[in-house]
C-alpha cells in the first residue's frame, strides 16, 4: 500500500481509483492510529 502511495505521489485519491475503493478506505488502510482502523462491517462506533 505504501508503495502505491509513493508511486502516486502520496495521493490517496488516485490510489483509491486504481484499487476501485473509496478514498476514505485508502486513508483507513494507511493510517497509523490504531483507533482509526475498524473492521469493514462495523460502521457504528464502539458504543453501539
Q: Of 9-13, 19-23, 43-47, where does mean pLDDT reach its minimum?
A: 43-47
Residue 12 lies inside a defined structural domain of this protein:
yes
Measure CA 21 to chain center. 9
| Mean pLDDT score of the chain | 79
> How many domains are there within the chain?
1
Residue 14 lies inside a defined structural domain of this protein:
yes
Spatial separation of the C-alpha atoms in residues 30 and 5, rounded to whole Å: 9
For residue 36, the model assigns a pLDDT of: 56
Question: By residue range, what is the domain housing residue 15?
Answer: 2-32
Residue 18 lies inside a defined structural domain of this protein:
yes
Residue 46 lies inside a defined structural domain of this protein:
no
| C-beta of residue 26 within 8 angstroms of C-beta of residue 16 | yes
CA distances from 16 to 36, 46, 48 (A): 18, 26, 29
Amino acid at each position: 500500500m505504501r508503495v502505491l502511495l509513493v508511486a502516486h505521489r502520496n495521493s490517496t485519491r488516485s490510489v483509491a481509483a486504481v484499487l476501485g475503493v473509496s478514498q476514505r478506505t485508502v486513508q483507513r488502510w494507511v493510517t497509523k492510529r490504531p483507533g482509526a482502523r475498524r473492521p469493514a462491517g462495523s460502521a457504528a462506533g464502539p458504543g453501539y
